[in-house]
A and B are shown apart, each in its own frame.
Chain A
């Protein structure tokens, strides 16, 4: 069967796209026995997602400090898919059940930040314990266009964009 090769090629397309088109750093493959296919994770050049409630916390903190808080990028999960695939809710649930909210490599960094932060630094929690599970769906088309969509586990209110 050519299926494994096909999957490998698909993952490779997404990996290259992230690295060279979107300037991601440290993109790596995560292979786990309980995952039907390997996920990617890496560090985007700028922060990709801010929860609407986190944004409120940041604005509050910025007002208190009187200066803007730089938003460091976070390590994100990526799930490579082909547009012609069909996935069931069961499969998405299995992927979410297999991962932690924070990809490997993201944890140390967040904890370091957390330790130095004070009690009133509410907004920092969103990078650590309050971070929900989210994955970037990297949907590959036949012409190798890749479109990225967030998928969240549970009810996550939309951003005000």
Chain B
């Protein structure tokens, strides 16, 4: 794996959404860039189960831009890139290389399967030997109970383990099919600088919080733009529910009061922030490399009186 400093995360831009498909990338951005985003993958057979979702991870547009601005990732237009790669590579070595890669993956899957099978078989043989060696001295009263206890898990594993084994024996020659989670070998790393997202209203606040080590998750459950955690959400409760406003955006007091009340009710503060426009009034955005503009944040809490 590349060293954490120069790992480039591939952010797939698909149908207007920013997705990360590589599990190593997902771990990397969570550990080193404080971005946990949202797991969105579900099983096609069972799309309503949404408690344990899997890959891909979907990023907010501002999180995608944050990674690009930090130089930690790049955005790839997957449709255009795949299309060009597949049509261009129809008779080129790239296509062959990709097919070769797929075959290699199937081979290694086969290897894992057979190793697993061998392990199970070895376990069974051990069990059988143990049983034989235990039965003779069964004269003592405790021994029978002991063997039956040890037998129980073995018989549990017996049925599922043996059936796939017989299936595999029938077509030993053909390799198992695999569904790759990424099409990384087909795509080229940093493609031409894909236009990053347009100006995002929430980006300054998002960047402000991220640069201070805060993690953000979608804040809809508390009626805000983000829930803000002082560290990884696995370890902390959220400290704030956050909203981002424009510097001169008129915010109804009722919104501030109700959000503040809700925040206090769930032991959080209500945080709102805005980016102060540059003094001269010139809007020189888009570059992303310029120094951080001033972001002012305020926290609201019920006063208890």
Contacts and interface: CB of A to CB of B under 8 A. Distances in A.
A158 B250 contact: no
Contacts of A81: 253
Interface stretch (A83-91, A111-119, A121-129): A83-91
B194 interface: no
A147 interface: yes
A85 B303 contact: no
A155 B230 CA distance: 11
Interface stretch (B10-18, B167-175, B282-290, B294-302): B294-302
B301 A149 contact: yes
A132 B96 CA distance: 65
A148 B301 CA distance: 9
Interface of chain A, helix or strand or loop or mixed? mixed
A22 B247 contact: no
Contacts of B301: 149-150, 152, 158-159
Contact of B296 (A49, A89, A136, A159): A89
B267 A149 contact: no
Interface in B250-269: 250-254, 256-257, 260-261, 263-264, 267-269
A22 B298 CA distance: 25
B241 to A, nearest CB: 10
B304 interface: yes
A155 B303 CA distance: 17
B304 A83 contact: no
A92 B254 CA distance: 15
B126 to A, nearest CB: 55
B212 interface: yes
A48 B253 contact: no
Interface string A63-100: 00000000000000000011111111110110010000
Nearest to A89: B274
Contact of B240 (A22, A137, A148, A158): A158
Given A44-B305, A137-B257, A147-B257, 19 more contacts: A22-B305, A48-B304, A49-B303, A84-B252, A86-B252, A88-B248, A88-B249, A88-B274, A93-B276, A93-B296, A139-B253, A149-B303, A151-B298, A155-B240, A155-B271, A158-B240, A158-B264, A158-B269, A159-B301
